[in-house]
Amino acid sequence: MNIPFYKYQGAGNDFILIDNREETFPKESTSFIQKLCHRRFGIGADGLILLESHAKYDFVMVYYNADGNLSSMCGNGGRCIVHFAAYLGVINQKADFLAPDGLHTATISGETVALQMNDVEQIERFDKYTFLDTGSPHHVQFVTEIDKYPVFKEGRRLRYSKYGNSGANINFVEKLNENIFMVRTYERGVEDETYSCGTGVTAVAIAMYEQGETTKTSIKLQTKGGDLQVDFKKEGKKYTNVILEGPAKQVFKGIWKE
């Protein structure tokens, strides 16, 4: 079985992209997806994304975490699949596609993709953290000296102790100035810190505005893998026109021989 694949990264968040419009990929095999994502015995990635056909929209995004299981929305993965769709000739500069959390639109300019995320209304604020869902569930918590913070240890502890088996992504944040925040994220399904997380920085931007840490509606997020930007509007209690923008780059392509 020879499977053509493409390796992508969006601000260091890396993915295996596969054109599955002919529906030949063994998508029910969790162990096979785990193998492809393994960084020693496979291609290596934070997740695997299938591009599939849709009768009404440009394409469907099917997303798997590195553990081989279907997952909720991935913002950086969503931006990467838009670039991939343009590379395949499925779209030109604009996309309307179905993702795990519903319909998304996006625009592409070179290696920059701006992805419209879902509206956010349900935000839970607590003394030490904020919880919200931006396509995936996110815990947002302030820390100091974020470069030295034990993200893996504390992220893993919170992911399981507070949120159980279903888990949540854990974001640690440090404010740099009025509209720039540094973010580090422990991702469920990857079960490690990733270089960036698209739904995570989206959650951080909204949480920072909700908490009064910024009055800006265009927020820059610095991650280990690069910079991302989140723009939004606040309408009553709802955050609308949420746009996640940043780089999406094809790194290499190859053929998996099984």
Q: List, for residues 102-112, the tens digit of each pLDDT value.
A: 999 999 999 99
| 3.20.20.120, 3.10.310.10, 3.30.40.10, 3.40.1360.10: CATH of 123-245 | 3.10.310.10
Inform me whether the pLDDT recorded for 229 exceeds 90. Answer: yes
Mean predicted lDDT score pLDDT of the chain: 97
Six token digits for residue 81: 């699949």
| pLDDT band with cut points at 50, 70 and 90 for residue 120 | very high
Domain ranges of the chain: 2-116+248-257, 123-245
Beta bridge partners of 139: 131, 170
Does residue 159 contact residue 195 with C-beta atoms inside 8 Å?
no
For the stretch 138-190, pLDDT in tens is 999 999 999 999 999 999 999 999 999 889 999 999 999 999 999 999 999 99
Average pLDDT over residues 115-122: 97
**Distance of CA 69 to CAs 19, 89, 166, 219, Å?**
18, 28, 12, 31
- Is pLDDT at 48 greater than 90 in this prediction? yes
* Fold match, 2-116+248-257 / 123-245: yes
Query: For residues 224 and 184, is the Cβ–Cβ distance under 8 A?
Result: yes
* Percent of residues, the chain, with pLDDT higher than 90: 98
Instruction: Say if residue 258's pLDDT is above 90.
Output: no
Q: What is the pLDDT of residue 1?
A: 81
C-alpha 216/C-alpha 220 separation (Å) is 10
List the catalytic residues: 74, 197
Question: What gap in Å lies between CA 24 and CA 47, rounded to an integer?
Answer: 19
The CATH architecture one would assign to domain 2-116+248-257 is: Roll (3.10)
Q: Judge whether residue 96 has pLDDT over 90.
A: yes
* pTM beyond 0.95: yes
Strand duo 137-142 + 180-187: pairing: unpaired
Spatial separation of the C-alpha atoms in residues 200 and 183, rounded to whole Å: 8
